[in-house]
Amino acid sequence: MQLTIVVPLYNEEESLPELVAWIDRVLTTYPLTHEIIMIDDGSTDSSWMVIKQLKEKYPNVKGIRFRRNYGKSAALNTAFEIAQGEVVITMDADLQDSPDEIPELYKLIKDECYDIISGWKKNRHDPLTKTIPTKLYNWATRKMSGIKLHDMNCGLKSYSGEVVKNIEVYGEMHRYIPIIAKNVGFDKIGEKVVQHQARKYGVSKFGLSRFSRGLLDLMSITFMAKFSKRPMHFFGSVGLISGILGTLLLAILTVQKLCFDIPGIADRPLFFLGILLVIVGVQLFIAGFLAEMISRTTERRNEYGISETI
């Protein structure tokens, strides 16, 4: 199969018929063997009934329904596991992503051999309360990840089939799929300016709280990428530095007390800081040692991304 289109959704009953009809028109003009996987993430409206009706009209529609709302990452990961297309395109169900972009996104993966093409909604139809935090979030992500994308969180992306079969998306890590893919070894990541449609039905499912969670997720994924297989390098290094600094402070105070008989050493802030640094250093070193022991006992300790064999 040439193409898989993945549509995660939550309470989008009004937009689904229009979205699938739009996709069908596009792929009638650019005929590609394809499937449309719709993941109902625990909708409380009649979205699942609409998907079943669409299945009767469009045989290439496939539907998966979660018992409750697990989040977009769970929906994408489930769809990636069953996707059969050589190219996989993800798009939101709210009609803000245009299916007219599908042929070009497909060609960039197949003809230009990109691993990932991320959409860039250069001209957004969102309020300032959403666009300004988004710009700050994307700036921070570019700085921390080294991936030069303007719109990391755009739902409209295309992937080679090999990428989606070699990554795992969990928690709320759907925002950082390009980073996850890069950490596995898929580093040919491009960007395409895409249309951003004004929301036609319903309301946005995302609030401002996603930005604070997004920052924490970014810190987590950056740490996991660098130290998941060698946690002692992080905890041990920080602990060693802390312990050395604390020991030096205590040594200086000891010399001052023994050699110069300076009174009140035990009442000075440096004395307590030195003790604190030594204690923190020892705790971090122990934490690194325990993390290293855990990482060495996991079944995936020697699991690496293999590109090909002959």
Asked if 212 and 238 sit in the same domain, the reply is no
Residue scoring higher pLDDT (216 or 102)? 102
Asked if 235 and 200 sit in the same domain, the reply is no
Domain boundary among 174, 201, 226: 226
Q: Assess whether pLDDT exceeds 60 at residue 262.
A: yes
pLDDT band at 249 (very low <50, low <70, confident <90, very high): very high
CA torsion sign for 11, 154, 189, 35 is positive
pLDDT band at 305 (very low <50, low <70, confident <90, very high): low
The model's pTM is: 0.74
pLDDT band at 261 (very low <50, low <70, confident <90, very high): confident
Domain boundary among 226, 255, 273: 226
| pLDDT score of 52 | 95
Q: Assess whether pLDDT exceeds 90 at residue 209.
A: no
Q: Assess whether pLDDT exceeds 70 at residue 307.
A: no
Q: Are 179 and 144 in contact (CB under 8 A)?
A: no
Domain boundary among 175, 206, 226: 226
Structural domain contains residue 41 = yes
Residue 92 belongs to domain with CATH number:
3.90.550.10
Structural domain contains residue 242 = yes
Structural domain contains residue 216 = yes
Asked if 283 and 146 sit in the same domain, the reply is no
Residue 245 domain boundaries: 231-297
Structural domain contains residue 310 = no
| pLDDT score of 309 | 46
Over residues 190-214, mean pLDDT: 71
pLDDT band at 130 (very low <50, low <70, confident <90, very high): low
In whole angstroms, give the CA distance from residue 234 to residue 172.
24
Structural domain contains residue 308 = no
| pLDDT score of 210 | 60
Over residues 188-203, mean pLDDT: 81
Structural domain contains residue 309 = no
Structural domain contains residue 307 = no
Asked if 172 and 71 sit in the same domain, the reply is yes
Q: How many domains does the chain have?
A: 2
pLDDT band at 212 (very low <50, low <70, confident <90, very high): low
Asked if 78 and 179 sit in the same domain, the reply is yes
